[in-house]
Amino acid sequence: MDFYRLAELADLTGVTPRTIRYYIVEGLLSPPQGAGPAAVYTAAHCDRLRLITALKARYLPLREIRRRLAALTD
């Protein structure tokens, strides 16, 4: 399984670290494994961020994106 630090995940997905943290607070993205500088993200985080980005490109509000994501598993 691949693991990524926050900066690596941001580079892979084109989503800023600040936005990634916001999505976690909003429940769109699960928290990383670990905390602080030791926190790591998985390929599932990367996939979900790409899906969120695609849904945002369709101009869906975060509320609708959250609803759609709730039905999915990692």
Residue with tokens 């030791």: 38
State residue 22's pLDDT score.
98
Q: What would the pLDDT profile of 21-58 be if each residue is shown by its tens digit? A: 999 999 999 999 999 889 999 999 999 999 999 999 99
Q: Which two tokens stand for residue 13?
A: 């997905």
Give Cβ neighbours of residue 73 (< 8 Å, ≥ 6 apart). none
pLDDT category at 74 given cuts 50, 70, 90 is confident
- Helix 6-13 with 43-57: angle, nearest 10 deg: 40
Q: What is the pLDDT of residue 72?
A: 87
Give just the sign of the alpha carbon dihedral 26, 48, 62, 16: positive
Q: What number of other Cβ atoms are within 10 A of residue 30's Cβ?
A: 14
Return the residue matching tokens 């699960």: 30
